Amino acid sequence: MSVILPETATLPRSEYPRPQLHRDAWLCLNGEWEFEFDDQRTGDAEKWHKRDKAFTKKIQVPFTFESELSGIADPSFHDVVWYRRQVNLPETFNGKRTIIHFGAVDYEASVWVNGELVAAHEGGHTPFQADITNALVEGDNTIVVKAVDYGKDVFLPRGKQFWEEKSRSIFYTRTTGIWQSVWLEAVSPVHLGKVKYISDIDKNEISIRTFMNGLEERTTRNVQLRVTISFAGKEITQDTYRVNVPEQSRTVSLVGLNDHSMDRFWSPERPNLYDVEYVVTVDGQETDRVTSYFGMRKISLESGKFNLNNRPYLLKMVLDQGYFPDGNLTPPSDEAIKRDVELMKEMGFNGARKHQKVEDPRFMYWCDKLGLLVWGEAANAYDYSQEYVRRFTKEWQEAMDRDFNHPCIAVWVPLNESWGVPNIQVDQEQQQHALAMYHLTKSLDPTRLVVSNDGWEMVKTDLFNIHDYEWRKEVLEDRYSTVEKAVSAMPANRRLSVEGYDYDGQPVMVTEFGGIAYKKSDWEGWGYSGASSDEDFEEKLRNVIHPMIYSGVVQGYCYTQLTDVEQEINGLLTYDRQPKIPLEVIKAINEGK
């Protein structure tokens, strides 16, 4: 089965990969690379990072060799792979520093330029970069990447990637190597490294923390940063100040922002965004120009209620695995990413729980732009060990740092259904790990809510989230008729809380439910319950969603799931994104009709 791409889609993917911090001088390295499996692990000893090794295959980056769009489509185990590409830098890079960026390489990556090691990174779902200027030569430059995965390691943060060769149950095809965009960027020695935004709608202020690179060597020079904030094409404010240290903060009052009309607040119904331009000058000469954006919105708990912008908000979410039939974890195009967001909204959902995947930043961009709340979730390991803790904690911090500025993200979910902590109910070490992840996440981001272990066996948590695949309407209506019944239920025969962490007045949400299997394509598979016709599917959808809407206890729900995925046929859409019943019918059900 193939993804149906819009006519405007192009391969290889060529959209700007980091929309939160945009520069004009960049070069996309997606497309054809030389490629080789290293099943005998001889590449290091034979120095494959040198130019004299002939690679026998071609691959389309950023699609992994397991996927059809890579041009290889080999789902078997190959834990060590090598890539190579020749690059000739454009004239616009002359006189600049050259940075190489990798969106994600699963799981370990080593990068050489002209035989010189320039970067090494561990973590399969997070970005890394390196200044490669000193390794470059005139004319053609050779970039070599070695990726090492651990396909059968259950202590690896892997999400839904299966450790057996063939997909089964709730686990899918593996991802090995480069699976997000690769690109080069030209910067001056003094340039803006990153920014962090914290919005305060109560004070009508935005706090901007800037991180300047290259400043430490030029403290005697006059480095200035001009910040211009606009809304709907109209300049709101401009500030120019001297930058004396690499990290600085400014708080800006936003004139005209108020609570009466919420015309400038960000929400799924009104996804308002402010545009920002940064201009760096050194001794009066411009060295950097970057564009960015932010949204003014607030996530909070008030009197046991989930609030968006100081008002109670009913979350209507859908579980999104982020898999595609031809690209696996890699979306085939930016249009395909955008279309997924549009489809969710057209079905009446106001949020997505991105499940067991740190998604491409372009997904968060379109959620920011079009208006869809997102729960940012880690890709978990399956079992617990000290090595897992080290790996997971590092990668989770990198994921949070990457996505911190996206207004769409409302909740962080480091753990799901006790993955990685299978004995958390009785093992104090695993309980402390889950508790540590809750507090670590809160320490890195006090502006969002945190769920310690989504689904069951929760320790300290901001939301009390339940996974319940019951399909009988009368059972759901009774189970969620009172808080007492809801928090004492055991839908999966699992206790909802670890002993000592009983329900403490948090908002109750059902964050996995439904999962109704309905076959509407050639794809074979399973679901948690079943439907036999369009009419039956519609009725069964109504029977599980309406008890959530009319409960009076449930403050949010997340239907499983957006699309069929490999052997699962419990999507609202087929794997190639075709609706199983009309979108407007699903929207009406989400509206309580």
Question: What phi and psi, each to the nearest 5 degrees, are found at residue 519?
Answer: -80, 115
Between CA 229 and CA 234 the distance in angstroms is: 9
107: cis peptide before it, omega within 30°? yes
Between CA 305 and CA 298 the distance in angstroms is: 13
- What pTM, to 2 d.p., does this model score? 0.95
62: cis peptide before it, omega within 30°? yes
The amino acid at residue 152 is K
User: Which tens digits make up the pLDDT trace of 271-322?
Assistant: 999 999 999 999 999 999 999 999 999 999 999 999 999 999 999 999 999 9
Name the pairing type of β-strands 205-213 and 191-200: antiparallel
Between CA 462 and CA 448 the distance in angstroms is: 10
| pLDDT at residue 109, rounded to an integer | 98
Between CA 215 and CA 280 the distance in angstroms is: 11
- For residue 506, give the DSSP letter: P
* HEC assignment per residue over 77-119: CCCEEEEEEEEECCHHHCCCEEEEEECCEECEEEEEECCEEEE
Between CA 51 and CA 55 the distance in angstroms is: 10
Rounded to 5°, angle at Cα 399 from 501 and 61: 140
| CATH number belonging to domain 26-187 | 2.60.120.260
Between CA 141 and CA 133 the distance in angstroms is: 11
| pLDDT at residue 102, rounded to an integer | 98
| pLDDT at residue 404, rounded to an integer | 98
| pLDDT at residue 219, rounded to an integer | 63
The amino acid at residue 219 is T
| pLDDT at residue 8, rounded to an integer | 33
For residues 579 and 571, is the Cβ–Cβ distance under 8 A? no
Q: Which of 3.30.1540.10, 3.30.460.80, 1.20.1050.10, 2.60.40.10 is the CATH number of 191-294?
A: 2.60.40.10
Between CA 8 and CA 335 the distance in angstroms is: 8
Averaged pLDDT, 493-518: 96
| CATH number belonging to domain 299-590 | 3.20.20.80
Question: Domain locations in the chain?
Answer: 26-187, 191-294, 299-590
Does residue 487 have a pLDDT over 50?
A: yes
| pLDDT at residue 489, rounded to an integer | 92
Residue 428, CB half-sphere, CA atoms under 13 Å: how many? 1
User: Which tens digits make up the pLDDT trace of 44-65?
Assistant: 999 999 978 899 999 999 999 9
Between CA 175 and CA 155 the distance in angstroms is: 16
Give the residue carrying structure tokens 């090995």.
Answer: 176
